[in-house]
């Protein structure tokens, strides 16, 4: 999925520069001044870096894909290999399979038959994870376990690209560790915590990005926020616009939405929230959707 323009995207490069600067400051000069401030700054930098990896896998910000991917080679996010994120996320962009428990790697729904066989404690944990607070608290751990379990199984099947993704990630993480052990001041344990919290921030964005619906075009949300979280998520809150135009740069998404607001809301059957404040108020301690897929099996076709 290439960008719509092959020009160098300076706004994205500026965000890259600011993100690296914040990350360097957090792991060096801020730690001796205030460990708490350093962890918070690293959390923000890692969350922003995660959003930038999403831009890169969609073909931004440089004409050369290898050069763009070099910008996200360091394993700053710690827990998720870039190549695995890229492959799974591009698979996720097959809209007819959105929310499918088997074919959508980012789905949080389960096959009702699978749900019925789960133990009571496992159901309790997944129900907790199905609230926004739970998704932020335990969601990264559950996602990491699922990723590692699935990828180890793929490696045993001989899927060499999965192995390559983890090998490259290990090199990227080694670069981060080398930085922390030489020029950095932040301890490894503190960085691991910041990386977890950075992923936790991303869980706010992904919490209700997609819903179960008979129509594929109605499964993707629009959150009209343009506040600090929108910047952290690089406007991916306009998620229906992104899915319809995956090559559109992050800084063009709000204008694209405003220009055809009625069109996008008609397409996604008014699956719209005004702000993240509204989402926190409604779902911080309450689940938005059931865990067993409510319209299973997922329809693979769509009607306009």
Residue 208 burial (C-beta neighbours within 10 Å; 0-12, 13-18, 19+): buried
Residue ranges of the chain with per-residue pLDDT less than 70: 1-6, 299-304
99 Rama class: left (phi>0) / alpha (psi -120 to 50) / beta:
left
Domain limits of the chain? 10-283
Stated pTM of the model: 0.94
Q: Report the pLDDT value the prediction gives residue 6, as an integer from 0 to 100.
A: 58
Please give the helix or strand (H or E) that residue 222 lies within, else none.
strand 222-223
How high is the pLDDT of residue 286? Answer: 97
Coil, helix or strand at residue 46: helix
Specify the pLDDT at position 4.
Answer: 47
Integer CA distances (angstroms), 238 to 151, 195, 272, 289, in order: 30, 25, 9, 20
Q: What per-residue confidence (pLDDT) applies to 3?
A: 43
């Amino acid at each position: 999925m290439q960008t719509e323009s092959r020009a160098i995207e300076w706004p994205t490069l500026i965000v890259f520069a600011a993100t690296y600067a914040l990350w360097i400051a957090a792991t060096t000069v801020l730690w001796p001044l205030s460990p708490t401030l350093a962890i918070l700054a690293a959390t923000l930098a890692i969350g922003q870096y995660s959003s930038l990896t999403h831009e890169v896998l969609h073909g931004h910000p440089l004409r050369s894909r290898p050069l763009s991917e070099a910008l996200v080679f360091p394993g700053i996010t710690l827990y998720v290999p870039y190549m695995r994120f890229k492959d799974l996320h591009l698979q996720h962009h097959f809209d007819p399979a959105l929310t499918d428990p088997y074919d959508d790697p980012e789905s949080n729904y389960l096959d009702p038959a699978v749900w019925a066989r789960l133990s009571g404690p496992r159901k309790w944990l997944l129900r907790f994870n199905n609230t926004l607070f739970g998704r932020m608290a335990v969601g990264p751990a559950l996602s990491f376990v699922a990723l590692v379990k699935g990828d180890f199984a793929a490696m045993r099947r001989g899927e060499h690209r999965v192995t390559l993704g983890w090998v490259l990630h290990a090199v990227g993480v080694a670069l981060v560790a080398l930085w922390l052990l030489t020029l950095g001041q932040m301890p490894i344990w503190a960085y691991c915590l910041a990386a977890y919290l950075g992923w936790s921030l991303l869980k706010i964005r992904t919490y209700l990005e997609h819903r179960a619906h008979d129509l594929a075009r109605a499964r993707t949300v629009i959150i009209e926020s343009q506040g600090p979280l929108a910047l952290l998520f690089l406007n991916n809150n306009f998620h229906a616009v992104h899915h319809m135009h995956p090559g559109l740069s992050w800084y063009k998404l709000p204008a694209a939405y405003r220009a055809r607001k009625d069109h996008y809301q008609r397409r996604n059957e008014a699956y719209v929230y005004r702000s993240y404040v509204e989402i926190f108020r409604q779902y911080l301690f309450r689940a938005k959707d059931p865990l067993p897929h409510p319209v299973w099996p997922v329809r693979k076709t769509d009607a306009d």
